Structure 1
Amino acid sequence: MSTTPTAVARAAADTAGPPAPPPDAAEDTAHGVERAARLERLLGDPCDPHNPHGYRALLDADAQRHVPEATEALLTDVRLGAEFVPRDLGGRLARPDVLARALRPVFRRDVALGFGYGITSLFGASAVWAAGDERRRADTARLLLSGGRATILHHELAHANAILRDEFTARSAPGGGFVLGGRKDVVINADRADRFVMYARTATSAGPRSHSVLFLDPERLPPGGLRRLPRVPTHGMRGSRFAGLEFTDCPVPAGTLVGDVGDGVQLALRTFMVNRCLIPGTVVAGVDSALRFAVRAATEGRPTGQPARRHQAVLAGVFADLLACDSMAVTGLRALSLLPDSAHLVAAAVKLTMPDLLREDLEELATVLGAHGYDRGPLYGGFQKLVRDLPVAGLGHAGSAACQAVLVPRLRALARRSWFCDEEPTARLFLLSAPVPPLDYRKLSLSGGDDVLTASLVGAAERLGPLRGHGPLWAALADLADAFVQEMRALREQCAALPQSAQATLADPRACTLADRYVLVLAAAACLGVWEGQDGMDSFLAQPEWVVLALTRIGRRLGARVPELPDTATGPVLDEVLLRYREGRSFDVYDTRIAG
């Protein structure tokens, strides 16, 4: 790989980057990897029909709409709740990318379990980590460290995840505190959460100061103030416990307020930055399993171990997509720590891009699985469960409309002030194992306007230009990078002409289309960044084939003019899929050993 771009070539990008992480940041990575490997071993081979944490047990629980009690007990024993508590409060949460790795063994087996037992508590507690006082932060940490749960009460699924929908209200009480009202019919863990984090309307008029956050202990609410509604059956995540809550003239003290009155919308926008990257960064492990089902179906009973020719391009292409999605998710997760001022752009792009890509991948894999895709047994039954679960998981927090609401109003300013002007980000953003500073929810901001990924794309294209003469793959890669840079130039011209008013821009249908094109360009930039970050390493990710295939597929979705895919691109990617399958290694960017 001596002729590829090197870390030295990007060293200039680090001169204006964030300060170096503390010495113990490397230990955070190692400990997180160890925890993930230990949990993988404890959960065991998911295809073993006798494994109490395997697919058979999980599918049986799902069919009966029960939580998998044995596996939840295991997660309690390993203190999974500590992953959601910041390290300075006695937990393990330091780096979002390490958190995602620690959770992937759970999501690889059951997305519903990952939400129902796991990250929903973090989504609830994140407002406390961002704005709670020291007493509230300490109390919440003790709750999660002891195995307790929190849940979040805000937007309705039917409302496209709009935080400004007023399901709950909190009017000021004459003697202080608030009086709660309102109803929500679908709340995960409503019947068993120890704490509720409520986003409630506290102002009669609309606007950015219309909502506030309240932290509620249901056991301390006055009789008659809260009515628990029946459990709601859902098509996906059937084992998760969704139920309703109704508040009626329910008084609560002033001390339940998190932050200040009117902070709710800003807190939601800031904390959802983490959720938008963490959900894709964990759900990708579920699609990893779906690809494994397809490889098994395509190679089963074939003496050569090679899938039929008609399936080869699908398996290689979905694998390339998974690496692309993971590159984007990991980049977004690392940006939360490294670039807290501008990570909101990357986070919204991650959440806007990945659900569609992963959904398309499942549709492609269904063509390989054939009749196996309807199998309910332990070898293939997880596929249909994942198909049911992913839409619920994707809509559970900050959906597409909310992400577009972050990006669309900024397109005009980005086009005029940022694109082709900003400096490249620190190379550490794309170095998968490099330490980053601990995540601090209090530092996350919506004020930054730098677009670090497009700057990285432009730099990568410049570095690839001289490599065109090294063969068809390098020429194709250089041409692909240029194609995405040209797309950015076209976007700059069109976005610069958008209305100056954010409200007018949001009402302009062209703007949503431009945002959808823009986030695909960012996905390409993340792929190139992760590929460059592997330079000099003896790994599959350091080779050009996967990134050529990934960028070609992204470019075709975008409708960009991309070069013909070289004949030599697909074969090595397919070989890697089959090798990882045989050796029991994950299909993500980390390439780790898995059970089974």
Structure 2
Amino acid sequence: MTTTVETGPAPGAARGDWEAAASLRAARLEARLGDPYDPANPHGLRALFAADDRRTPPRETEELLDETGLAAEFVPVEYGGRLTRADLLARTLRPVFRRDVALGFGHGITSLFAIGAVWAAGDEEQRRHLARLLLGGGRATILHHELAHANAILRHEFTARPAPGGGHLLAGRKDLIINAARADAHVVYARTDPARGSRSHSVFVLDPADAPPGTVRRLPRVTTSGMRGALFGGLEFEDRPVPADALVGGVGDGVALALRTFQVNRSVICGVVTAAADTVLHSAVRAATTGRSGPVARRWHKPLTGVFADLLACDAMATVALRALGLLPDRAHVFAAAVKYVVPDLLRENLEELAAVLGGRGYEHDSPEYGALDKLVRDLPVAGLGHAGTASCQSVIVPQLRTLAETSWFAEEEPPPELFRAGAELPPLDYRALGIAGGGDFMAASLLRSAARLAPARGVGGQIAVLAELAEGFVAELRALRETCRRLPRHGGRPPADPAVAVLGDRYSLVVAAAAVLGVWEGQDGTDPFLSDAPWAVLALSRIGARLGIPVPDLPEGCTQQVLDELIRRYRAGLGCDLDATVLAQ
């Protein structure tokens, strides 16, 4: 396969050049994909919906992505690719996800999820081999154990036992593996120790072409209710030889590698799927404004502005998590899980609200103007944003709560301001530096300092005063959580499996979500007057507070109208509903 890889930043390029280069690539890809609502566009929504109906990948669009060398986004600059920072990676992928989540996975980030373990612990030859493979137009897929994904569609397990003379023999099956039949590399998480525990699994990189006859059986394709254009199939191994040099890291490193790399996966997913929800919001605005000469009907003000505020909040959470992976790599693990816990829930609620605006039109799956709702409702659970993914995040968060309550909350210093500041120069993403748990809670510390800076405005009236009241409400919630979490079993013991404990993870995640919104609002430099003003943050925090059930002050006069005005302005100007106000193809 021949690809034309657009030039990324050189290995020695200044960090400030990384963002400009990524933004340019994202803009070029958006332009090449073209107007999604043009019925004649082969990469538009009508064509993508038709491919989904046929349950086939959109071939023409996949060829376009190959021509642009999309896979180079997953290869670090030092190995000839374009990967520098995680937040910039998400920015370059959003044009794809804005149109089709299944395409984004099937012809996109699945390769990143697969090779993350190699960037974290692979040897030099493994790294160079996979870099050559992806830069040459190949793709990789992940054959994961259930612990890391905790997704019902990824059941079953592989085992690898030592082979006479060295290496291992791989056995077992999985029925649902994305791109199982067309991947050029399989990254396998296999059980190498029958005992339960953190050393139970190991990671191997395999070339499908190297399997001796009779040791691998391809299982039939399985259709799914969502992501119908993605190619899910199964693999069954019967003593498939695995050479010694296929091992990534050491024997027993699999669980730790999954935990380290999946914080990248979680954060990237959240950073890109909001673009898909953005498309649905644009459809709802179109439905609410088409054929009207006057203002939007009052009954639609709340859902439209609420979803807009939520999408900005989701973008704030994901962006901060992605930046933290480079700036605070040893401390981002719990926050990344909290973001993945909150964002899917908000998006599901948002789609329900937008369904009320769109009505039956939202389920016209052949309509490029309105059909994005129907497809996204089906795609999100299959993409790992369902209840099983929530359970996976809970398994990361809950065991840390007592330690955080005892050692970090109300005691830690706030993080560097660059974490929240658009345009700040940040370190690159280094998978080798990613930590697992521990390291305190920089988001809780950020919340406390934001609330302290806003405190003088409490009680004086106006939008900033409401923002200050909301910030103090989240601090009070964190204080109550500290008292409760101190009574949990110590880390290392099994948390009680009851709803009361699960609720603590839920409440904590919403508190740090609020911290991200406040941090991003404080980090504005005035370049964007709307984001620098308080209404969007007030509305976003009010909705988070209502989900928590904490006291929420009444919205100040004009707050909803200001957010609605900005939403309508962006819709008419062809701008995205994200923090970047991305220019969309028209």
Tell me if the contact between 2:146 and 2:154 (Cα under 8 Å) persists in the aligned partners. Answer: no
TM-score with structure 2 setting the length: 0.95
- How has the CA–CA distance of structure 1 residues 137 and 146 changed in structure 2, closer, same or farther, with 3 Å as cutoff? same
Tell me if the contact between 1:159 and 1:165 (Cα under 8 Å) persists in the aligned partners. Answer: no
Q: Is 1:468 the equivalent of 2:458?
A: yes
Tell me if the contact between 1:225 and 1:249 (Cα under 8 Å) persists in the aligned partners. Answer: yes
Q: How does 1:53-132 map to 2 (within 5 A)?
A: 53-132=43-122
Residue among 319, 328, 335 paired with 2:317: 328
Residue among 210, 216, 220 paired with 1:226: 216
Q: Is 1:364 the equivalent of 2:353?
A: yes
Offset of residue 520 of structure 1:
0.1
Tell me if the contact between 2:149 and 2:389 (Cα under 8 Å) persists in the aligned partners. Answer: no
Q: Is 1:178 the equivalent of 2:178?
A: no
> Aligned partners of 2:390, 2:542: CA distance in 1, in Å?
24
Partner of 1:300: 290
- 444-453 or 184-193: bigger deviation: 444-453
Residue among 270, 274, 284 paired with 1:284: 274
Partner of 1:17: none
Task: Indicate the RMSD between aligned Cα atoms, in angstroms.
Answer: 1.9
Tell me if the contact between 1:155 and 1:162 (Cα under 8 Å) persists in the aligned partners. Answer: no
- How has the CA–CA distance of structure 1 residues 509 and 95 changed in structure 2, closer, same or farther, with 3 Å as cutoff? same
Partner of 1:8: none
Partner of 1:427: 417
> Aligned partners of 1:355, 1:173: CA distance in 2, in Å?
43
**Matched residue type, 1:127:** A
Tell me if the contact between 1:166 and 1:200 (Cα under 8 Å) persists in the aligned partners. Answer: no
Any idea what SS the aligned residue of 2:220 has? strand
- How has the CA–CA distance of structure 1 residues 146 and 24 changed in structure 2, closer, same or farther, with 3 Å as cutoff? same
> Aligned partners of 2:387, 2:185: CA distance in 1, in Å?
18
The runs of 5 or more residues in structure 2 that have no matched partner are 1-10
Tell me if the contact between 1:195 and 1:217 (Cα under 8 Å) persists in the aligned partners. Answer: yes
> Aligned partners of 1:146, 1:158: CA distance in 2, in Å?
29
> Aligned partners of 2:149, 2:579: CA distance in 1, in Å?
34
Tell me if the contact between 2:156 and 2:173 (Cα under 8 Å) persists in the aligned partners. Answer: no
> Aligned partners of 1:201, 1:576: CA distance in 2, in Å?
52
**Matched residue type, 1:226:** V
> Aligned partners of 2:540, 2:274: CA distance in 1, in Å?
16
Offset of residue 160 of structure 1:
3.3
- How has the CA–CA distance of structure 1 residues 286 and 154 changed in structure 2, closer, same or farther, with 3 Å as cutoff? same
Offset of residue 373 of structure 1:
1.0
Offset of residue 165 of structure 1:
6.9
**Matched residue type, 1:338:** L
Tell me if the contact between 2:45 and 2:99 (Cα under 8 Å) persists in the aligned partners. Answer: yes
Q: Is 1:43 the equivalent of 2:33?
A: yes
**Matched residue type, 1:48:** D
The runs of 5 or more residues in structure 1 that have no matched partner are 1-20
Tell me if the contact between 1:168 and 1:182 (Cα under 8 Å) persists in the aligned partners. Answer: yes
Tell me if the contact between 1:355 and 1:394 (Cα under 8 Å) persists in the aligned partners. Answer: no
Q: Is 1:531 the equivalent of 2:521?
A: yes
- 114-123 or 397-406: bigger deviation: 397-406
- How has the CA–CA distance of structure 1 residues 441 and 103 changed in structure 2, closer, same or farther, with 3 Å as cutoff? same
- 497-506 or 160-169: bigger deviation: 160-169
Q: Is 1:140 the equivalent of 2:130?
A: yes
> Aligned partners of 2:40, 2:246: CA distance in 1, in Å?
46
Q: How does 1:29-40 map to 2 (within 5 A)?
A: 29-40=19-30
- How has the CA–CA distance of structure 1 residues 46 and 254 changed in structure 2, closer, same or farther, with 3 Å as cutoff? same
- 466-475 or 401-410: bigger deviation: 466-475
> Aligned partners of 1:285, 1:536: CA distance in 2, in Å?
24
Partner of 1:543: 533
> Aligned partners of 1:318, 1:164: CA distance in 2, in Å?
31
Offset of residue 382 of structure 1:
1.9
Any idea what SS the aligned residue of 2:37 has? coil
> Aligned partners of 2:139, 2:420: CA distance in 1, in Å?
33
> Aligned partners of 1:120, 1:138: CA distance in 2, in Å?
19
Offset of residue 510 of structure 1:
2.4
Residue among 318, 324, 336 paired with 2:307: 318
Tell me if the contact between 1:412 and 1:495 (Cα under 8 Å) persists in the aligned partners. Answer: yes
Any idea what SS the aligned residue of 1:137 has? helix
Partner of 1:15: none
Partner of 1:24: 14
Offset of residue 155 of structure 1:
3.5
Partner of 1:12: none
> Aligned partners of 2:70, 2:371: CA distance in 1, in Å?
26
> How many pairs does the alignment contain?
575
**Matched residue type, 2:400:** R
Q: How does 1:344-423 map to 2 (within 5 A)?
A: 344-375=333-364, 376-395=366-385, 399-423=389-413
Tell me if the contact between 2:145 and 2:158 (Cα under 8 Å) persists in the aligned partners. Answer: no
Residue among 341, 361, 383 paired with 2:330: 341
Residue among 460, 464, 489 paired with 1:499: 489
Q: Is 1:271 the equivalent of 2:261?
A: yes
Any idea what SS the aligned residue of 1:301 has? coil
Offset of residue 166 of structure 1:
5.8
Question: What are the Cα deviations for residues 441-489 of structure 1, in whole angstroms up to 9, with x where unaligned?
Answer: 0000115331011111110111111223653212111100000000000
Tell me: higher relative CO, structure 1 or 2? Use CA pairs within 8 A at least 6 residues apart.
1
TM-score with structure 1 setting the length: 0.94
Partner of 2:583: 593
